[in-house]
Amino acid sequence: MSRLLIVDDDRVGVSALAALLEDDGYQVVALTSSAGGLEALSAGGFDAVITDLEMPGLHGLELVRAIRECSPTLPILIVTGYTNSPAAATAVAYGARRVFPKPVPYEDLLAELGAALPH
């Protein structure tokens, strides 16, 4: 079973997304701060990361960059309300696999996860 890390400061959204992904067979750790996300990642054991960009404290871009520095191949998916911003483009430049808008097109997200993770 693939293990996912979701980082988003919107508690309601993150819990709903975690519940859906768990229902679809993923093991999910959902966190609401990027600092917490970094700490969880340092322990390792995740197969993919889904993160928001605009979060208080550590910006999502910093999280993406930190992930890339310690784990060059870990799939990173971005979920953001600002899909056309330079931040989204920079996240892709840092190595994020794809940027999804909010509300999340769930089927597309699921398909992307399926393509990114080894079966």
Partner 1 sequence: MPADDLERVYRWGWLPLIGGCVAVTAAMLAASELLFIHYGFADPTRLQRVLHLVRGAVMSFALALFAGWYMLRLRQRVEAARESLRAQQAAFARRAWKTEQAVGLGALCRLLVHEISDPINGLSLHCRLLERAAGRMEPTDAEPVRRIAAQLRDDTERLQGLAASYVEGNRAPGSSERYQDLSLEEIVRAAVAAHPCPEGVEIVVEAASDLAPVHAEPDRLRQLVEYLLRNAIDPPAGSHRVRVSMTNDGNRVLLAVADDGAGFEDPASVFRPFYPASSLRASLGLAIVRDVAREHGGDTRAANREGGGALLSVRLPMGERTS
Residues making contact with partner 1 (CB under 8 A):
10, 12-13, 16-17, 19-20, 23, 53-54, 59, 61, 79, 81-82, 84-88, 90, 101-104, 106
Comparing CB distances to partner 1, the nearer of 50 and 118 is 50
Comparing CB distances to partner 1, the nearer of 44 and 81 is 81
Q: By CB neighbour count within 10 A (0-12 exposed, 13-18 middle, 19+ buried), where does 30 fall? A: buried
Comparing CB distances to partner 1, the nearer of 43 and 107 is 107
Shortest Cβ distance from residue 15 to partner 1 (Å)?
8
Beta strands in 8-115 (DSSP E): 27-31, 48-51, 76-80, 98-101
Closest CA to 36 of 12, 15, 56: 56
Structure tokens at 51: 């993160």
Task: Residue 64: count other Cβ atoms within 10 Å of its Cβ.
Answer: 24
Shortest Cβ distance from residue 89 to partner 1 (Å)?
9
Comparing CB distances to partner 1, the nearer of 36 and 101 is 101
